[in-house]
């Protein structure tokens, strides 16, 4: 997973046997925040759970098992 300055998240999946060649095409890209993302963190034991935090003072908890990820929890700061 790569967080981008435009607020999008790009996801790549590494195959079981590893990469055979380099790639610049993500498996999927989705808009996560309206502004720069500062932090992404996968859950240590739960599969397909990601937290993202951005310049807009929000933290979002994502379920990546969905075809189009949507945040299940959104926390907003002041």
Total structural domains in the chain?
1
Residue 34 belongs to a domain: yes
Residue 31 belongs to a domain: yes
Residue 56 belongs to a domain: yes
Q: What is the pTM of this model?
A: 0.86
Residue 6 belongs to a domain: yes
Residue 18 belongs to a domain: no
Residue 42 belongs to a domain: yes
Give the domain extent around 66: 2-13+25-76
**Distance (Å, whole) CA 8 – CA 10:** 7
Q: What is the DSSP letter of 37?
A: E
**Distance (Å, whole) CA 34 – CA 53:** 11
Residue 20 belongs to a domain: no
Residue 44 belongs to a domain: yes
**pLDDT by residue (tens digit) across 2-58?**
999 999 999 998 889 988 888 888 999 999 999 999 999 999 899 999 999 999 999
- Residues 6 or more apart whose CB falls under 8 angstroms from that of 8 comprise 29, 30, 31, 32
CA 44 remoteness from chain centre: 15
């Amino acid at each position: 997973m790569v967080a981008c300055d435009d607020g999008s998240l790009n996801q790549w999946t590494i195959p079981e046997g590893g990469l055979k060649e380099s790639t610049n095409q993500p498996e999927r890209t989705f808009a996560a925040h309206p502004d720069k993302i500062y932090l992404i963190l996968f859950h240590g034991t739960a599969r397909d759970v990601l937290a993202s935090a951005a310049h807009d003072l929000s933290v979002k908890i994502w379920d990546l098992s969905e075809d189009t990820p949507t945040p299940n929890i959104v926390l907003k700061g002041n």
